[in-house]
Amino acid sequence: MTDLATSERTVAPRIGENAPRPDGVPKVVGAFAFSSDLHHDRMLWGGTLRSTHSSARIRSVDVSTAVAVTGVHAVLVSDDVPGQKVFGLEYRDQPVLAGDVVRYEGEPVAIVAADHPEAVRMALEAIVVDYEVLVPVVDPMTVEEAEPVHPDGNLVRRIHLRHGNQDVVGDVQVEGTYEVAMQDQAFLGPESGMAVPADDGSIDLYVATQWLHSDRDQVADCMGLDPEKVRLTLAGVGGAFGAREDLSLHVHLCMLARHTGRPVKMVYSREESFHGHVHRHPAQMWYRHHADRDGTLVRVEAHLILDGGAYASSSSAVIANATCFAAGPYRVPSAEIDGAVVRTNNPPCGAMRGFGAVQVCFAHEAQMDRLAGALGMDPVALRLQNALVPGDELLTGQTIKGTAPVAEVIRTCADHPPGASMAVDPLELPGGAGRTADPEHVVRGEAFALGFKNLLFSEGFDDFSEASCRLAGGVATITSACAEVGQGFVTLAQQIAREVLGVDEVVLLPASTAGIGSAGSTSASRQTWMSGGAIQEACGQVRAQLLEHLAAEHGVDADDLVIADGRVVSMAGGFEVDLAKATTEPIEASVVFRHVPTLPLDENGQGNAHVSFAFSAHRAIVDVDVELGLVKVVELTTSQDVGRVLNPLQTVGQLEGGAAQGVGLAVMEEVLVQEGRIRNPSFTDYLVPTALDMPPVEIAALIEQAEPGAPFGAKGIGEAPSISSTAAVAAAIRNATGLDLPRVPVRPTDIVFPGGTA
Amino acid sequence: MTIATSLEDACAALAAEPNSVIVAGGTDLMVEVNRGSRCVENVVALDRIPELADWHLTGDELRFGAGVTFAEICEPEIAALVPALAQAARTVGSPQIRNAATLGGNIATASPAGDSIPVLAALDAVLELRSTEAIREVPVTEFITGVKATCLMPGELIEAVRVPVLDGPQEFCKVGTRNAMVISVASLALLVDRSARRIRVALGSVSPIPLRASEAEDHASGHLDWDSGVQPGPEVVREFAELVAGSANPIDDHRGSAAYRRHAVRVLAERSLTRVLNRVSSP
Ligand SMILES: Cc1cc2nc3c(=O)[nH]c(=O)nc-3n(C[C@H](O)[C@H](O)[C@H](O)COP(=O)(O)OP(=O)(O)OC[C@H]3O[C@@H](n4cnc5c(N)ncnc54)[C@H](O)[C@@H]3O)c2cc1C
């Protein structure tokens, strides 16, 4: 914080500095308007009737009583969807409102608009849905033989990756079966937004989202409108982590607004939010690792099953990641990975920070520890020996062309001196405020884990971001539709513009579909690179235009001109002009930025499918009360491959926040699902780490090796911290207890009754 | 909505509208209202009644107004008199919750997981219930009649809670799957009463109503050499823990299995008895 406080200075912070966040203070003092704070004097309130069953046929929906409730302006069902009845990120397979079947608990069936939230509630209660309840399909391991959950079948995607010589057998083999439960993104700002109809039949939708243009296109199709008739503006986002990549209330709001001719606002309750967005895919994973006696990995085999729930969402990309990165950041000459993502009547799953890499990291790191045990090797040495280096091939046969400082990440993290001493304050022992443990009940464990993931979109996706820069009167105005979801893009965009243009004053316009093309999604650790890259280029073009113009006008050398302190000056001397004056005539540039193209995976899961990779390591130290099965994570140390640090404070923020989500998955975060029903849809029972659960994050090293093609060489840093942290914590608990613990989150009963008594 | 500023006002408002709902800190009530599981027409707010926010020590008896908050109970002054109650108070929610949540609200909610309840049960706390008609006294163990059920009558409110100040160490321990701000999976209060030569034990989250482990109490009390302060051996502690576990009547739910809960109270019993014995025997 001291850095922030002292960063008040005349020259606004540029690249590499701790620029303060424009939205930081407003968020802390409660002045920031989140999407749930939207207001319009004429607005109605919207609400959603959700399925109470995870699988049922709808015989009828009777809205007659609901329509008659005082204050109710509209009650709409599936037949009222004006355009395409389904939406979806990759495949349009999810109904806007359930028609004749419901496929998960909480699926929207009807929507209501009324002049008061209480009238909405009464109307929702008055809707009568006649369900024929069906037996839900809930076991992902057997769905392929089960009744189809969806007309498209129960298999969303299978990738049968085969790499290298398939006959390789290692001297030493270790085998294991692993499971990752369903995690929730647990953002604090529930789904919310407001649709405002215009007289010309167009609609403005203000909503918290990750990708305005993708939403816009899906909403337009479902509304039967041309895309230009639907304008999306980003409303204040209270966290996302993947859960806002899919549509939620978007089309519902637009339908209600269009039907009533009034602005309509909707805010999900917390419980509704748990049903209203996708979660992290639960995974069942079998692995066999083969190595030579000296510890060289020779082959990895794995079967991965991810449960996608009833609709495709981004499942096919998630299984691609899980499959491609199944073995971790190691040199593996031979592999067979069978990855499948299936449909069930469990809650729908899709994008979440780490996107497929989190699940497999938990498994491959457990395997590496097991292998080290079988070989009698030090686990860190085993990892170092097999660490990828630039020029190595991935399981996909793709050669790593960019930076891959894997060994540096491992070494710096493993060599960092541990700092945690044994706690004396009972609050700091496992059990915390509950005062359950004394120091003699506690066993300490330590372990190390390594992970990696692709940055940007893969598999031939046309991934681009548009941005424009306008320099007028010495002030730069940046336009981008990039969604600020808390990651700090609003800060970086200004830092980049200042750095390139040499100006101090930068205005970033609100993100909207109205003024600019798509920025792509705020996901896949991609916005700093993609939208940052677009801004860098746009600003660069504006700068070049300005300097060339001045050079021509004043007969000076453009290469000799610099912009600083509000002036354009010739380094050789003799020429100087006020920047504001030089730009009374605005200079503009607009750029569509693309990364190098990628290719689809072939039938063997081979191909140059990815652009770039980020690597991270965590070392966890845990205290375990073995008798009660309670855990306290006492220290997390990390090193990460970041390319270049653009804003040190924000970098630390990402590393801490990502690790907190990783700790959560390791020891407590789980959406409990029984027969397709969520048993803990609240923050009372879906537990996320508190200050007493989250240790300080020690950053051993930020490895800065400039990544080719990335703006300023900076890699995306948002996802890597959530990948190896879970694996490290789980492994440290194994180290403390001597138990296998093949599942996360590790529950007290997994430690107390390891045989599975209860 | 009545914002009462005196007990008389509050009781009058409750008498006038017998289906009125009392709100104190609102930390339980508002959760239910927001969830739609409780319909509220008339509300009587107690948080502006000065008498309810007070506590007094008279002789060796403490009297808490029902509106005393858990934040106040955590303060050293109270913690010195009823350490286990302060320890329990510290485990309730977060600082924000403890600033609003009241002792009376915790009791009236009558949740098996209410953290003050095992301590109050072990203290044989007595509740003072008031209406326009009468004032009556009910032990906390009789007040709570089932899961979220009490013998509070329409028109009545909890005015105060009386507990003895005991001579001897006290322990409250609570198991949850998070290190703070977590609903109890199992809890235990263990109090030493030197003058009566009794060990008192009550359990939380392992039965629908407040539960005293009387057999275990007898066992421990009988095996302690109260005069010499010499500790009984580990087998007495183990037997005590078994008896505590045996008295539990837990259920399986999404927060924990019955087997784990029973196991947990056994461990808590063993550890808390060991803790107090270490202190009893040290001069
Ligand atoms: C985030 C969160 C965390 C929590 N954590 C815990 C926890 O760790 N442990 C725990 O035990 N509880 C916990 N609770 C529950 C709650 O905070 C406590 O039970 C609290 O003591 C309730 O007191 P209150 O004053 O807020 O009651 P209110 O919500 O105002 O009232 C609760 C009930 O008691 C009745 N009532 C209140 N006062 C009186 C009175 N004087 N006479 C008669 N009836 C009365 C009300 O009518 C209502 O039915 C938590 C709640 C939240 C929201």
Distance from the alpha carbon of residue B109 to the mean position of ligand 1, in angstroms: 6
Residue A1, pLDDT above cutoff 60: no
pLDDT of residue A241: 98
User: pLDDT below 70 — which residues of chain B?
Assistant: 281-283
With cut-offs at 50, 70 and 90, classify the pLDDT of residue A118.
very high
- What is the chain A residue with the closest CA to B255? A685
Can the peptide bond before residue A745 be classed as cis, meaning omega within 30 degrees of 0? yes
> Is this prediction's pTM over 0.90?
yes
CB contact under 8 A, A434 and B258: no
- In which band, very low, low, confident or very high, does the pLDDT at A122 lie, cut at 50, 70 and 90? very high
Task: Return the amino acid letter for B158.
Answer: I
Strands A192-197, A94-95: pairing kind: unpaired
The side-by-side arrangement of strands in the sheet containing A297-307 is A155-163, A335-342, A297-307, A283-291, A172-180, A743-744
| Centroid of ligand 1 to alpha carbon of B265 (angstroms) | 24
Mean pLDDT for chain A overall: 96
Judge whether residue A4 has pLDDT over 90.
Answer: no
Identify whether the C-beta of residue A425 lies closer than 8 Å to the C-beta of residue A435: no
Dist CA A623 CA A737 (whole Å): 10
In angstroms, the CA B112 to CA B123 distance is 17
Q: What is the CATH number of domain B2-164?
A: 3.30.465.10
Q: Which residues from A are below 8 Å from B267, CB to CB?
A: 436, 627-628
Length of chain A: 758
pLDDT value, residue A756: 75
With CA atoms as reference, report the closest residue to A660 among A701, A731, A718, A743. A718
Domain positions in chain B: 2-164, 170-277
One-letter amino acid for residue B130 of the chain = R
AA letter at B172: F
Residues A598/A600/A603/A606 CA torsion (nearest 10 deg): 20
| Nearest chain A residue (CA) to B180 | A433
pLDDT of residue B53: 97
Q: Give the residue from chain A lying closest to B33, CA to CA.
A: A118
Q: Under an 8 A CB cutoff, do B259 and A757 touch?
A: yes
Same fold, B2-164 and B170-277: no
Closest partner residue to B267 (CB to CB) among A628, A668, A691 is A628
Distance from CA of A694 to the nearest CA of B (A): 10
Distance B2 CA to ligand 1 centre (A): 19
- How far does the centroid of ligand 1 lie from the alpha carbon of residue B131, in Å? 20
Contact A161/A335 with Cβ under 8 angstroms?
Answer: yes
Second-level CATH architecture of B170-277: 2-Layer Sandwich (3.30)
pLDDT band at A534; cut points 50, 70, 90? very high
Which residue among A271, A430, A679 places its CB closest to the CB of B254? A679
Where are chain A's structural domains?
A: 35-135+190-237+244-276, 283-458+601-752, 464-594
With cut-offs at 50, 70 and 90, classify the pLDDT of residue A6: very low
- Check if CATH label 3.90.1170.50 holds for domain A35-135+190-237+244-276: yes
CATH number listed for the domain at residues A283-458+601-752: 3.30.365.10
How much is the average pLDDT of A53-69? 98
Residue A755 clears pLDDT 50, i.e. is over it: yes
What ipTM, to 2 d.p.?
0.96
Question: What confidence tens digit (pLDDT) does each residue in A591-615 have?
Answer: 999 999 999 999 999 999 999 999 9
Does the pLDDT value for residue A385 go beyond 50? yes
Take atom 32 of ligand 1 and give the residue whose Cα is closest. Answer: B105
| Ligand 1 centre distance from Cα of residue B106 (Å) | 4
What's the average model confidence in pLDDT over A29-37?
97
Question: Tokens 């966890």 appear where?
Answer: A620
Residue A299 has pLDDT above 70, yes or no: yes
Residue among B19, B21, B23 to mutate when testing ligand 1 (max atoms within 8 A of CB): B23
Q: Minimal Cα distance from B31: which residue of A?
A: A684
Which is nearest to B254 in space by CA: A753, A664, A684?
A684
Check A121 against B36: CB less than 8 A apart. Answer: yes
The single-letter DSSP state of residue A47 is E
- Cβ-nearest to A758 among B176, B257, B275: B257
A30: burial class by Cβ within 10 Å (0-12, 13-18, 19+)?
Answer: exposed
CB B35, CB B158: distance < 8 Å: no
Q: How many CB atoms lie within 10 A of CB A718?
A: 28
CATH code for the domain defined by A464-594: 3.30.365.10
pLDDT number for residue B282: 56
A-B contacts at Cβ under 8 angstroms = 98
Give contacts of A434 with chain B, Cβ < 8 Å: 91, 173-176, 179, 182, 184, 187
Query: How many Å apart are CA A585 and CA B107, to the nearest integer?
Result: 72
Instruction: Give DSSP secondary structure letters for A301-324.
Output: EEEEEEE--SS-TTHHHHHHHHHH
Answer whether A35-135+190-237+244-276 and A464-594 agree in fold.
Answer: no
Nearest to A438 among B181, B185, B271 (CB): B271
pLDDT of residue A12: 79
Could you say which of B173, B178, B259 has the minimum Cβ distance to residue A436?
B173
Contacts of A733 in chain B (CB under 8 A): none
pLDDT tens-digit map of A640-675? 999 999 999 999 999 999 999 999 999 999 999 999
One-letter amino acid for residue A513 of the chain: T
Predicted pLDDT of residue A3:
42
Find out whether B103 and B66 touch, Cβ atoms under 8 Å: yes
Q: How far is the CA of B5 from the centre of ligand 1 (A)?
A: 20
Residue pLDDT, tens place only, B9-23: 999 999 999 889 999
